[in-house]
Amino acid sequence: MPDPIRIYIDADACPVKDETYKVAARYGLKTFVVSNSFMMIPVSAMIERVVVDAGPDIADDWIAERAAPGDVVVTNDIPLADRVIKAGATAIKPNGQPFTADSIGGALAQRAIMEHIRSTGEITGGPRPFDRNDRSRFLQALDEAIQREKRKRR
């Protein structure tokens, strides 16, 4: 019997934690809320708060070291998404856009280009504001990812 599906939330700037808790509860899935600062979470044996040391990529490392095939990771972090995809897990952005093996290379390249542009002092602006449609797409994408994995395990 395969290990149970787990959900990992890269939580420091995640706008869909509450939505993730609700979907995870519906399926009875253990959820890890990983951040480098204390954060309130619902009281539930199925939700675990993990506070890691402050520092670059410490939360990402914690998640990447544990994500396994069939797990779901909620993150905006492209390098973390790359690592969990390579581990066989699913990575979903809070806006519902999935990271895939086919798209991650382009996302990493775009990230590198934008970092270079910013390093020259160019002001590039940020992402568009998060809205209700993003939240709805996320709920659908998370549900689909869990259903897909459950079908594989039958």
Q: pLDDT at position 121, please?
A: 74
Tens digits of residue pLDDT in 9-36: 999 889 999 999 999 999 999 999 999 9
Q: Does any domain span residue 13?
A: yes
Residue 76 is classified by DSSP as S
The CATH number of the domain holding residue 101 is: 3.40.50
Structural domain for 105, as ranges: 6-152
Q: pLDDT at position 62, please?
A: 97
Q: pLDDT at position 154, please?
A: 80
Q: Region 37-54: what's the mean pLDDT?
A: 95
Tell me the percentage of the chain whose pLDDT exceeds 90: 70
Q: Does any domain span residue 35?
A: yes
Q: pLDDT at position 100, please?
A: 85
Q: Does any domain span residue 67?
A: yes
Q: Does any domain span residue 1?
A: no
Report helix, strand or coil for 115. helix
